[in-house]
Amino acid sequence: MIKVDRNVIQPPDILTNPNGRGVKETSRAIEYYSKANVSKPMKFTVYSNSEVKDTLIKLFKEKCAYCESKFLHVYSGDVEHFRPKGQIAEAPNPKPGYYWLASNWDNLLLSCRNCNQKLKHLTVGKTEKETMGKMDQFPLDDGGVHIQNHKKDISEEEPFRLLINPCRENPEDFFKYDIESGVIVPKPTTRKEKKMAEESIRVYVLQRVPLVQARERKAIQILAQIQRVKEAIKNVSDFADNSSSIKKIYFDKILKKELKKLKQFLSPNEEYLGLAKQIINKFLEANFQISL
């Protein structure tokens, strides 16, 4: 998971236009759930509009907001509600969910089906598959009460929120990676931050085996490129005292070329950027005394 700045892209007009479908649907939802007895959940449609999904795809660089995997070549993606719109699994009375946020731009993310939907997954350390995936989960810390009414201030719930939102928090403050295995683990931080990391790993299924293996492969590629950079540095160092040497000029070019290849792993469009930044940052600090 990596930090994503929502301010870099204009929200879709269909959600923000005062006379648009998103605002009108929100008004209908508030009116509908203000009734004394609601027999069935309201059907929301605006969030699934192609304009919304296309904007989310651009914002998240065609990657899942949670696991950073690219998936559009095999699946169109889910427009995911960070705070679930229909019901809240952990609430004593699950219904309603955050119905007034169903068309709220800040509540929408792009997700792959493996993070968002309820599917059978084998996770690291387990021998049997379990049904996992975010869906309508939204756990709160001890003492927290879910806000299930548009009249209440959602900010009252925020201190108890346990799921990390990559558009609000910086995931690099919460997670680190075992580069030999691809496993993601919480950083040793405060009790609350550690609990947020643990719950996010569980709810988003960030320890599912195929995902861990994909991160492991990425780590191997990065470490191999770092080794090539190290070899290029040594070659340059061996000819450092001979500024006119043709070999020195040649090895200087090779070093620049290999550093450029390493830098490509840090492109915002690359998968598993959080992992890449951890590995490359450590290398740059040790060899160039610079930090990302």
Report how far residue 125's alpha carbon sits from residue 65's, in angstroms, rounded to the nearest whole number: 24
Q: Is the pLDDT of residue 278 over 70?
A: yes
Q: Which residues, at least 6 apart from 115, have a Cβ–Cβ distance to it below 8 Å?
A: 64, 66, 67, 80, 133, 134, 204, 205, 206
**Residues 2-57: tens digit of each pLDDT:** 999 999 999 999 999 999 999 999 999 999 999 878 888 999 999 999 999 999 99
Q: What is the pLDDT of residue 242?
A: 66
**Residues 159-218: tens digit of each pLDDT:** 999 999 999 999 999 999 999 999 999 998 899 999 999 999 999 999 999 999 999 999
**Residues 68-90: tens digit of each pLDDT:** 999 999 999 999 999 999 999 99
**Residues 217-266: tens digit of each pLDDT:** 999 999 999 999 999 988 888 877 766 677 878 888 999 999 999 999 99
Q: What is the pTM of this model?
A: 0.93
